[in-house]
């Protein structure tokens, strides 16, 4: 993992902390902001990171499809795991909200 991956990993938690300190909305917890930012993280992944990886390695090109796809998958894999973790946190927070 490099610095971009670590930055993407802590994005919902760090920005949620900052948002809670700045906004100070009554009856709104830190976990609400983390929940919202986990959804934003998935949106960033689908609309920003995936298209960038596709263009960077030209994985759609039919000439060298297998080689480009393998290279893309190698660089994309940490992002996929991170967005999966963000989705687990998102679903976990929903479950905790409805069970408490």
User: Which backbone phi and psi does 13 adopt, to 5 degrees?
Assistant: -75, -45
Q: Is there a contact between 33 and 20 (Cβ–Cβ < 8 Å)?
A: yes
Residue 49: which domain range?
Answer: 3-99
49 token code pair: 């990171």
- Our CA dihedral for 89, 94, 96, 98, rounded to 10 degrees, sits at 180
Domain count, the chain: 1
Supply the pLDDT for residue 65: 60
Distance in angstroms (rounded) separating the CA atoms of residues 78 and 60: 21
pLDDT of residue 62: 54
Taking a C-beta distance cutoff of 8 angstroms, is the pair 38, 87 a contact? yes
Residue 59 to residues 25, 64, 87, Cα–Cα distance (Å):
45, 8, 26
Instruction: Output the tens digit of pLDDT for each of the chain's 100 residues.
Output: 788 889 999 999 999 999 999 998 888 889 999 999 999 999 999 898 888 877 776 655 555 566 666 766 777 788 889 999 999 999 999 999 888 7
């Amino acid at each position: 993992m490099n610095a971009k991956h670590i930055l993407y990993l802590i994005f919902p938690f760090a920005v949620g902390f900052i948002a809670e300190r700045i906004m100070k909305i009554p009856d709104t917890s830190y976990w609400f902001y983390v929940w919202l930012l986990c959804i934003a993280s998935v949106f960033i992944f689908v609309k920003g990171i995936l298209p960038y990886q596709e263009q960077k390695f030209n994985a759609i090109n039919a000439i060298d499809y297998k080689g480009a796809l393998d290279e893309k998958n190698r660089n994309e894999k940490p992002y996929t795991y991170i967005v999966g973790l963000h989705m687990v946190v998102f679903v976990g927070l929903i479950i905790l909200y409805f069970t408490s």
